[in-house]
Structure 1
Amino acid sequence: MTESVLRNHLEKVSTRVFEDRDEGSKFVATEIAALIKEKNKLDKYTVLGLATGSSPLLLYKELIRIHKEEGLSFKNVITFNLDEYYPMNPVDAQSYNKFMHENLFSHIDIKPENVNIPDGTIPMGEMDAYCRSYDNKINSLGGLDIQVLGIGRTGHIGFNEPGSQISDGTRMVYLNDITREDAAKDFGGKENVPRTAITMGVKTIMKANKVFLMGWGENKAPIVKEATEGLVTGEVPASFLQNHDDVLFVLDKGAASRLSRIDTPWLTGDCEWTEHLQKKALIWLSNQTGKPILKLTEVDYKEWGLRSLLETAGTAYDLNIEIHNRLQRTITGWPGGKPSSDDKTRPERSNPFPKKSIIFSPHPDDDVISMGGTFLRLVDQGHDVHVAYQTSGNIAVFDDDAYRFMDFLSGFSKKFDVCQPEIKKIHDEISGYLKSHPNNGNGSSSVLSVKGLIRQGEAAAACRFSGVKEENVHFLDLPFYETGSVEKQPVSSKDVDIIVNLLREVKPHQIYAAGDLQDPHGTHAVCLQAIFRALEEVKNEDWTQDCYVWLYRGAWQEWDVEDVEMAVPISPDELKKKRMAIFKHQSQKDVPVFPGTDSREFWERAEDRNRETAKLYDQLGLTEYEAIEAFKRYHF
């Protein structure tokens, strides 16, 4: 299902919202393919401006499919890429030149001479002339027929960072700190990310006949809102597109979630007052006025643009009580259901008791970081709790930790006189590799195996601490993850089958899964996709008719209060115990390999988030708790 809106009074560019990035990418691919076919019939060139990064990956995949399955020819296509790091050799792993060939050009019949990518090896003294020639070549072809863009968290398009001007041509630029943070995972740390790049300028982009800007995921939602609804400013370069005659922002639901017509539709005109929207509006009104929900007045409704809600739902007094009660009913200290109790208004049913619960954890520490308090409470309340670690998490271990564990193994074998020759051989092989390949231990499958065992041991220790039976701890090691790099394989039937087999073995009454799509490395999203596919396979089996699926979020953010369907209060003592469970993951303590853009440790992020959720409930007029973990139910 798609939704299209053309320039309402708040959105100053055309936007189209798709169910997901796959559907949106196929739409853009179809538009590009149609233009290429039309121009091929006329024996004319199609001139495309192309982007790199994660945003266009599915677009390129679909163009490849159309080429191979529908015979679309790219022989008359000329491409100009937006940017390239500088300095950068075209064969380097992080090169956008390499990216484009691996993800598009090597799979289609485009002529090599028609591919144009900024050259990251140009001597500095020749840079200005080279950049002018890049623009001149585009102009000589009549400009770009279509320009494909992503959008950075800074609002950059290409590498036109905040401070860029609409008159800027292709040039060398200094990269914003946030941009370098976002690229850190590809370079093995922010310190390795180049500080400069070559980028096509805003001026050239604005001359394109048509522009598609693709935005995926909730982490892009704030900047998408600024670019579409805010002022035109060089501080948000994407906002310049408001002045383009033919631009379309192609968004998934996550990226569009902060647009006013979706986030606060009562401010944009008429809206359909569903129960969820009523709840959302009152939470918003409470936050705007600084009043608990039960203290909101009819005057507050009218002053803040909610007159139509009163006309639809009745008096402020009645609506306040209804929404307050709905929020109150999300709170439960019994995440597995309270036995022998009236469960009509509780998030979880009381029977059966005890329940069999599976907690799926994408990485080996997401379970305790994201829902450690609920995890502990399920065990303490007598439920049969299983934990399924979906990936090994091996790439997120420092080489020095692997070295340290190999030294332990060597010392252990000598101390107890166990298999010394074999142990020595393994020790020498792995230690030798680590010495000769500094900071590149993940290039060895043996080193990755050691790192995987480190994380497996930490997860097992956290489960022991939490009281989980040893036989209930499952290490799935899904194959999609085992690439030795940040880039992963797509989910395959092998991944899904592993999950299906576990579900059929346990036949759970409850499933907990990471619904956090903001994981900066993408693993959470892929793991969730694998679970959804597995549930689709088993959905007609008898045990599934009495199974609830609860989605938690990771260290990066929490559900919005209006989306929370089960809120589990965490006491001060439980919060401390949760912290100790997180501490069992020593390889992720202090400074993890992939810290993201947040300098806090994972336990700090988790506690701050849980306390903030409790504070939000308190401000709405609910009971004050130390902390709250939140869940949203998934119906399958």
Structure 2
Amino acid sequence: MNNDLTAFEKIPVKIFSTSEEGSVHVAREIAALIKSRQKENKPCVLGLATGSTPTRLYAELIKMHQKEGLSFKNVYTFNLDEYYPMPPDALQSYVRFMREHLFDHIDIPKKNIHIPDGTLAKDDVQDFCKSYEEKIDRLGGLDIQILGIGRTGHIGFNEPGSSEKSLTRLVTLDQVTRIDAASDFFGEENVPRKAITMGVGSIMKANKVYMMAWGEGKSSVIKKAVEGPVTDQIPSSFLQRHRDCTVVLDDAASSALTRIKTPWILDSVAWNEKLIRKAVVWLCQKVSKPVLKLTNHDYMEHGMGDIITEFGSAYKVNIKVFNFLQHTITGWPGGKPNADDTNRPERAKPFPKRVVLFSPHPDDDVISMGGTFIRLVDQGHEVHVAYQTSGNIAVFDDDAIRFADFVRDFNDQFGLSKADGARFYKKVVQSLQKKGPGQLDSPEVLKIKGLIRRGEAKAGGRYVGIPDEQMHFLDMPFYETGAVKKKPLGEEDIKVVMEILERVKPHQVYAAGDLSDPHGTHRVCLAAIFEALRRLKKKPWAKDCWVWLYRGAWQEWDIDQIEMAVPLSPDELMRKRRAVFKHQSQKDSAMFPGSDKREFWMRAEDRNHATANAYNDLGLAEYEAMEAFVRYKF
């Protein structure tokens, strides 16, 4: 790596294409140290983290144990944190997390495992924390500390304001942290307000630190931690002062770093069409000008003079980028029949097309691309929607009771078995009354909640205009755990996706490329689609199938990435809103809203307006709203 490109980075950063590759790298480093210490007949002391970030790392360590004979008998572990209070067998307990993701699958002695105790009386916490630090010190300190990073820049539960010298202690959780944890606890009100955490000072004493981050959602805070000033408002920035810290990222998490986002301001770069588009769009936003008004001076003043040297003038570069952006805009997402498609994002033929729209949850189809969905149907294409998961955990208990009550009254009104209806209603109500915060629903309740989401999806599809037989409910097995934590993607998941593709033999596939989804379902659903397409790529229909990726409620494609932009009129935007409204269980207040308090329809409309405004600011035609897509070539 050219040192000039990392000039802004105050911590060494390793970037991998995927989180899997990054996790394997860190796992190999840990394994090498364990083996080295075994040869020396010495212990290896690891500081471990929880959450979604290290799960693939732990899976790789388990694989090394089971297939390569890696032993953990000389390993001592100290976990970063635990909620307080928290019983060890609770679904959200980090004791349970570590057992399920690592300890139950390796040969580490139980006496070597240390996790903060969430069951202590409050008066005993301080002594416990002091003892925790002493145990680490007696073993010679942490050899390696594994970290994730929170949206506030926290490491462990060291929230903004934490001291660089802080040690293991009881802390009060930041509101943002509690919001981010809400999905695990089935509601923010159930998230504990406190936690026991190792301090920044405890972490800084480790011999080696790996801070890992995956996904676009972490990119902005990574930039602050790595490139920004050292401040207690971003506790992870203290790692700039650590003697041996490495930040391990996937491509998405690295996207805000200067060397990735704007490398031309650091050094000369090898310009290609994608990088030129990215740079020109950035320059327009920087100087608040449309593309065609950029001057040679603008390019020269912002580290982009070599583009002018190559093309001869700003005018030529501007025209090239403007034409590309203009050619992404189409009112015919399925292709316009009998038209010259040379400069259109989609093919004119065949027409009409068979389309499969994959929707990870039962409402992603209309929230994320409802306007395009409506266009495709109105323009005569055969559109199938494949709802990948039931979405059952995202339904409130009150709605389940309401529908159970409906079943009871329905049976009574239509002369069916009144006793059976009454028994069913009583069973549902008693099950929900006994359920504690964050506990799993009974199979009956899960079924009701799944049927609620299914009925809403059908209502949305009918409103858009497709028949029931073109709505497919895949109920992918990985999702059906009843808990926020899902099973890994399995063979059965891939098979159900392959089956719908083989049945429809589509010319177009739409899939959610929204990897910022906070609970990970979109990421797993997309992996299943990609694997299914990989296996089917030699089929005759697959050779003529184009895949378009849309974004969900969380984030939009950058303007320079967009390859198809579908403009929406005010009337079409209203039709999209009405389709979203069919999902009544997610209206007003969703179970897992994330950190954004806006309703899903509001997020979608604001995002669609913003995309249209961004095109307008670049000097393109002014539209009410736009939905954006990127083509995936498999």
Band of TM-score, shorter chain: over 0.9
1:222 to 220, 223, 228: 220
Alpha-carbon distance, 1:147 to partner: 0.7
Query: Which amino acid in 1 is paired with 2:469?
Result: E
Query: 2 CA distance for matches of 1:22 and 1:219?
Result: 17
Query: 2 CA distance for matches of 1:68 and 1:537?
Result: 28
Query: Which amino acid in 1 is paired with 2:56?
Result: L
- Aligned residue number for residue 292 of structure 2: 294
Query: Which amino acid in 1 is paired with 2:245?
Result: V
Query: 1 CA distance for matches of 2:490 and 2:97?
Result: 23
Alpha-carbon distance, 1:413 to partner: 1.7
- Aligned residue number for residue 206 of structure 1: 204
User: Partner of 1:449: helix, strand, or coil?
Assistant: helix
After TM superposition, the score normalised by the length of structure 2 is 0.98
Query: Which amino acid in 1 is paired with 2:191?
Result: V
Query: 2 CA distance for matches of 1:529 and 1:80?
Result: 33
Tell me the alpha carbon deviations over residues 109-166 of structure 1, each in whole angstroms, 9 at most, x when there is no partner: 1111111111223333333332222212212222111111111111111111111121
2:305 to 304, 307, 327: 307
- Which deviates further from its counterpart, 398-407 or 370-379? 398-407
Contact 2:91 2:439 in 1 (8 A): no
Query: Which amino acid in 2 is paired with 1:533?
Result: E
Contact 1:395 1:442 in 2 (8 A): no
1:89 to 67, 87, 93: 87
Instruction: Give matches, 1:217-616, under 5 Å.
Output: 217-437=215-435, 442-616=440-614
User: Partner of 1:622: helix, strand, or coil?
Assistant: coil
Alpha-carbon distance, 1:310 to partner: 1.6
Q: CA distance change for structure 1 residues 293 and 163 in 2, over 3 Å: closer, same or farther?
A: same
- Which deviates further from its counterpart, 394-403 or 508-517? 394-403
Contact 2:87 2:93 in 1 (8 A): yes
Tell me the alpha carbon deviations over residues 580-616 of structure 1, each in whole angstroms, 9 at most, x when there is no partner: 0000111111001111111100000000000000000
Query: Which amino acid in 2 is paired with 1:468?
Result: I
Tell me the alpha carbon deviations over residues 164-212 of structure 1, each in whole angstroms, 9 at most, x when there is no partner: 1211111111111111111111112112111111111111211111111
Alpha-carbon distance, 1:92 to partner: 2.2
Query: Which amino acid in 1 is paired with 2:504?
Result: V
Query: Which amino acid in 1 is paired with 2:140?
Result: G
- Aligned residue number for residue 40 of structure 1: 38
Instruction: Give matches, 1:44-59, under 5 Å.
Output: 44-59=42-57
- Which deviates further from its counterpart, 372-381 or 188-197? 188-197
Q: CA distance change for structure 1 residues 24 and 135 in 2, over 3 Å: closer, same or farther?
A: same
User: Partner of 2:393: helix, strand, or coil?
Assistant: helix
Query: Which amino acid in 2 is paired with 1:165?
Result: S
Query: Which amino acid in 2 is paired with 1:628?
Result: M
Alpha-carbon distance, 1:421 to partner: 4.3
Query: Which amino acid in 1 is paired with 2:594?
Result: G
Query: 2 CA distance for matches of 1:56 and 1:7?
Result: 28
User: Partner of 2:328: helix, strand, or coil?
Assistant: coil
Instruction: Give matches, 1:5-84, under 5 Å.
Output: 8-84=6-82
Contact 2:185 2:437 in 1 (8 A): no
- Which deviates further from its counterpart, 124-133 or 256-265? 124-133
Contact 1:7 1:14 in 2 (8 A): no
Query: Which amino acid in 2 is paired with 1:560?
Result: D
Contact 1:15 1:251 in 2 (8 A): yes
Query: 2 CA distance for matches of 1:432 and 1:103?
Result: 33
Query: 1 CA distance for matches of 2:512 and 2:137?
Result: 48
Contact 2:5 2:267 in 1 (8 A): no
Q: CA distance change for structure 1 residues 411 and 121 in 2, over 3 Å: closer, same or farther?
A: closer
Contact 2:53 2:214 in 1 (8 A): yes
Query: 2 CA distance for matches of 1:273 and 1:187?
Result: 47
Q: CA distance change for structure 1 residues 404 and 438 in 2, over 3 Å: closer, same or farther?
A: farther
Query: Which amino acid in 2 is paired with 1:331?
Result: I
Alpha-carbon distance, 1:424 to partner: 3.8
Contact 2:294 2:318 in 1 (8 A): yes
- Aligned residue number for residue 145 of structure 1: 143
User: Partner of 1:254: helix, strand, or coil?
Assistant: coil
Structure 1 residue 186 and structure 2 residue 188: aligned? no
Contact 2:395 2:586 in 1 (8 A): yes
Query: Which amino acid in 1 is paired with 2:497?
Result: I
Q: CA distance change for structure 1 residues 471 and 5 in 2, over 3 Å: closer, same or farther?
A: farther
- Aligned residue number for residue 165 of structure 2: 167
Query: 2 CA distance for matches of 1:438 and 1:105?
Result: 27
Alpha-carbon distance, 1:438 to partner: 6.2
Query: Which amino acid in 1 is paired with 2:288?
Result: G
Tell me the alpha carbon deviations over residues 194-237 of structure 1, each in whole angstroms, 9 at most, x when there is no partner: 11111111112111111111111100000001111111111111
Q: CA distance change for structure 1 residues 434 and 200 in 2, over 3 Å: closer, same or farther?
A: closer
Alpha-carbon distance, 1:53 to partner: 0.9
Query: Which amino acid in 2 is paired with 1:153?
Result: R
Alpha-carbon distance, 1:442 to partner: 4.5
Contact 2:11 2:245 in 1 (8 A): yes
Q: CA distance change for structure 1 residues 37 and 259 in 2, over 3 Å: closer, same or farther?
A: same
Q: Compute the RMSD of aligned alpha carbons.
A: 1.5
- Which deviates further from its counterpart, 144-153 or 433-442? 433-442
Gaps of 5+ in 1: none
Query: 2 CA distance for matches of 1:224 and 1:453?
Result: 40
Contact 1:399 1:441 in 2 (8 A): no
Query: 1 CA distance for matches of 2:80 and 2:410?
Result: 55
Query: Which amino acid in 2 is paired with 1:97?
Result: V
After TM superposition, the score normalised by the length of structure 1 is 0.97
Query: Which amino acid in 2 is paired with 1:103?
Result: H
Query: 1 CA distance for matches of 2:246 and 2:274?
Result: 29
Query: 2 CA distance for matches of 1:4 and 1:252?
Result: 19
**Number of aligned residue pairs:** 634
Query: 1 CA distance for matches of 2:69 and 2:99?
Result: 20
Alpha-carbon distance, 1:428 to partner: 3.3
Query: Which amino acid in 1 is paired with 2:415?
Result: D
User: Partner of 2:343: helix, strand, or coil?
Assistant: coil
Contact 2:48 2:147 in 1 (8 A): yes
Query: 1 CA distance for matches of 2:498 and 2:112?
Result: 47
Alpha-carbon distance, 1:7 to partner: 8.7
Query: 2 CA distance for matches of 1:169 and 1:397?
Result: 40
Query: Which amino acid in 2 is paired with 1:611?
Result: H
Tell me the alpha carbon deviations over residues 474-496 of structure 1, each in whole angstroms, 9 at most, x when there is no partner: 11111111100111111111111
Contact 1:399 1:439 in 2 (8 A): no
- Which deviates further from its counterpart, 284-293 or 413-422? 413-422
Contact 2:409 2:421 in 1 (8 A): no
